[in-house]
Structure 1
Amino acid sequence: MPAYMVVDVRYDDLDWTQAYRRDVPAMIAAHGGRYLARSSPVERLEGAGEPPDTLAIVEFPTMAAARALLTSVEYQPYACARQAGARTQIYLLDGL
């Protein structure tokens, strides 16, 4: 069953983003994932609060494949850079 990762990013520092955008898509693909949507800025249609700077939806073949990306050794330096330069919420949900 497919799984969907929804990533909400609010930037504090952009220094990490060039390497992340260059390298991480190949890591996602190596785990069977693909971007379905990535938008900056995000258009809010309803609700309140600070909107994300970027919102992405990534499809993976399984929940395990999505988790494997986030815990992979190769991804860890990018995760650390992202965590140091942005406030991020990452959600994982089962597809239908």
Structure 2
Amino acid sequence: MAYYSVLAVTPTDDSWIPDYLPVAGPIIERHGGKYLARTTSHEQLEGEPTTAGLRIILEWPSEAAAKAFMSDPEYTPQLAKRHAGSVSEHFLIEGKDDLA
């Protein structure tokens, strides 16, 4: 079953971004993930206002694949750089409909 990572990332220091992008992409692909959206073009339609500089949606083949990516020894230094240079929220969502 597919899983989706939904992230809100607001950089506080852009210096990590140029090195992050070329490293993270191949690691994501190695774990079977793919970007569905990676954009600054987003609009909040409901709820209390929240801000994010960037919204990202990734698709994973499984929960295990998403979690393996997050703990991949090649990725963890990049994750630390993202955490140090941004405010980030990351949700992992199972691709199912519990209300159907």
Both proteins in one fold, TM over 0.5: yes
TM-score (norm 1): 0.93
Deviation at 1:88, TM superposition (A): 0.5
Q: Indicate the residue corresponding to 1:6 in structure 2.
A: 6
Q: Which runs of 5+ in 2 are unaligned?
A: none
Deviation readout 1:38-62 (Å, 9 max, x if unpaired): 1114222233333210000000000
**4+ aligned runs moved over 4 Å, structure 1:** none
The Cα shift of 1:69 comes to 0.4
Match runs of 1:72-87 below 5 Å: 72-87=72-87
SS of the equivalent of 2:51 reads coil
Identity of aligned residues (%): 35
The answer to whether 1:16 aligns with 2:16 is yes
TM-score normalised according to structure 2 size: 0.90
Alignment-derived partner of residue 57 in structure 2: 57
Preserved CA contact (<8 Å) 1:42 1:51:
no
SS at match of 1:48: coil
**Over residues 29-81 of structure 1, what are the superposed CA-to-partner deviations in whole Å (9 max), with x where a residue is unaligned?**
00000001111142222333332100000000001100000011000110110
Unaligned runs of 5+ in 1: none
Point out the structure with max Rg over C-alpha: 2
Count, aligned residues:
96
Work out the CA distance in 1 between the residues paired with 2:70 and 2:88.
13
